[in-house]
Chains A and B, each alone.
Chain A
Amino acid sequence: AQTVTQSQPEMSVQEAETVTLSCTYDTSESDYYLFWYKQPPSRQMILVIRQEAYKQQNATENRFSVNFQKAAKSFSLKISDSQLGDAAMYFCAYNTNAGKSTFGDGTTLTVKP
């Protein structure tokens, strides 16, 4: 069975600084997808970034980028120039074409002004 591990229950960052959230996963599949979701206090799940396993290039979305290490089964999220609005719970997730997602336990990010 696939598992997703987020080893940092809580992280904090100073506004305008950079922070990296860790995620590792375990799978025997070769074709899969990885996601980072943000859940702010409103509890609406928001897709931050996605990565296809067959792509070697790391995905980027503005201030958000990932470091995807397929051999190490690692998928970390880097947030640059952190903003107060980035404060939220972040979930790493794994999925395949079958559609069922596996989520990590989440990392609560605090942004200090």
Chain B
Amino acid sequence: GAVVSQHPSWVICKSGTSVKIECRSLDFQATTMFWYRQFPKQSLMLMATSNEGSKATYEQGVEKDKFLINHASLTLSTLTVTSAHPEDSSFYICSASPAGSQETQYFGPGTRLLVL
């Protein structure tokens, strides 16, 4: 089956530093990848949609300069949390859709971010 990996699985950083999270589709090409944020016992909140080779589309209320997304290849998208603050602490999940199957999403295992 389709596998999506995320790295790191968890990260602790100091306030003011930047953190990069990688999302890779391991056995398929993903024209579209999605980034979500999830608070405990809540649903997934879509942050942005990234398409390979083009700028990401951000959801309303998500700061583009704060959450930088790059989708440089058909198997890799990255989310960089810039100048992280404690309120950015959360669980971040990526998903990827295979080319020609836009309605299907395969999810990564998530990254737990704690900003001190």
Q: Does B54 contact A (CB under 8 A)?
A: no
Interface segment out of the listed A20-28, A66-74, A78-86, A98-106: A98-106
Whether A65 sits at the interface, judged by CB under 8 Å, is no
Secondary structure at the A interface, as helix, strand, loop or mixed, is loop
In the complex, which of the residues A37, A97, A103 contacts B103, with contact meaning CB atoms closer than 8 Å?
Answer: A97
Q: Do residues A44 and B110 form an inter-chain contact, with CB atoms below 8 A?
A: yes
Contacts A42-B109, A43-B110; A91 near B44 (Cβ below 8 A): yes
In angstroms, Cα B19 to Cα A6, docked, is 34
Please report the total number of B residues contacting A with Cβ < 8 Å: 21
- Flag whether A89 is at the interface (Cβ < 8 A): yes
Q: Are B44 and A103 in contact (CB under 8 A)?
A: yes
Interface size on A, residues (CB 8 A): 24
Q: List 9 A–B pairs whose Cβ atoms lie within 8 Å, in order of A's numbering.
A: A45-B44, A45-B93, A46-B107, A91-B43, A97-B102, A99-B102, A100-B49, A105-B43, A106-B43
User: Chain A residues in contact with chain B, CB under 8 A?
Assistant: 32-33, 37, 42-47, 50, 89, 91, 95-101, 103-106, 108
Chain B residue nearest in CB terms to A95: B103
